[in-house]
Chains A and B, each alone.
Chain A
Amino acid sequence: GQQVMQIPQYQHVQEGEDFTTYCNSSTTLSNIQWYKQRPGGHPVFLIQLVKSGEVKKQKRLTFQFGEAKKNSSLHITATQTTDVGTYFCAGRVVGGSQGNLIFGKGTKLSVKP
């Protein structure tokens, strides 16, 4: 079936270091969303990317959507302890159901103060 692969599965960084998580789809996506889940919490929407090659920034977070709309990345500059959590990408396949989000397995980020 359709899959979105996300790497790495875990990332441990020292506070102040950068962090990047990558998603790759086997099929072209119409859009991709990113969510963050804090420990013990639920996924919270961060952003949606729609256009090929799109780059969006939210403070220290930079989101990219690949030219072929098959991959995406989330980069955090100078991590802080508040960045701890699991980051998920979730894409919609071109021609697929509007409601059906395909999630990656997530990247669990831990930040050592």
Chain B
Amino acid sequence: EAGVTQFPSHSVIEKGQTVTLRCDPISGHDNLYWYRRVMGKEIKFLLHFVKESKQDESGMPNNRFLAERTGGTYSTLKVQPAELEDSGVYFCASSQVRPGEQFFGPGTRLTVL
């Protein structure tokens, strides 16, 4: 069974540019989550999809972040325009059962210069 995949693995952009991160969950997992870990801090929840619907987006920092999951399969997280404080590792996770085990992807390391 293929795991959660994320693309790209690394992204280096300049402040003000746009970046789009992609996550492909495990096939059949309706629940998809985005998290972010800023250097030295805890992993923070960003949002949760159930299929194509946003179930909880309380962790999204501001309106520069836009997450989509059209068709309920893969998801994208767009940051526009990127700021220095957006640097960190963005993890995607998926689960079959909502309160159960979450399977994490390898993460995308975003560096904003």
The segment from A59-67, A71-79, A93-101 that touches chain B is A93-101
Q: Size band of the A side of the interface?
A: 20 to 34
Bound Cα distance from A23 to B38, whole angstroms? 20
Shortest CB–CB separation between residue A33 and chain B, in angstroms?
7
State whether A97 and B56 are in contact (beta carbons under 8 Å apart), knowing that A31-B99, A45-B102 are contacts in the complex: yes
Which residues 77-107 of A have a CB within 8 angstroms of B?
88, 90, 92, 97-106
Would A42 and B106 count as touching, CB distance under 8 A?
yes
Is B33 interfacial (CB 8 A cutoff)?
yes
Residues 24-64 of chain A, each 1 if its beta carbon lies under 8 Å from chain B, else 0: 00000011010100000111110010000000000000000
State whether A97 and B43 are in contact (beta carbons under 8 Å apart), knowing that A33-B101, A42-B104, A48-B100 are contacts in the complex: no
Would B59 and A100 count as touching, CB distance under 8 A?
yes
Q: Size band of the B side of the interface?
A: 20 to 34
Chain A residues positioned under 8 Å from B59 (CB to CB) = 100
Residues 81-113 of chain B, each 1 if its beta carbon lies under 8 Å from chain A, else 0: 000000000010100001111111111000000
Is B69 interfacial (CB 8 A cutoff)?
no
Would B106 and A100 count as touching, CB distance under 8 A?
no
Identify which of B48, B56, B99, B104 contacts A43 (C-beta below 8 A).
B104
Would A99 and B106 count as touching, CB distance under 8 A?
no
Chain B residues positioned under 8 Å from A100 (CB to CB) = 45, 48, 56, 58-59
Taking Cβ atoms with an 8 Å cutoff, the residues of A that contact B are: 4, 30-31, 33, 35, 41-45, 48, 88, 90, 92, 97-106
Q: Which 3 residue pairs across A and B have the least CB separation, nearest first? A: A99-B48, A97-B56, A103-B43
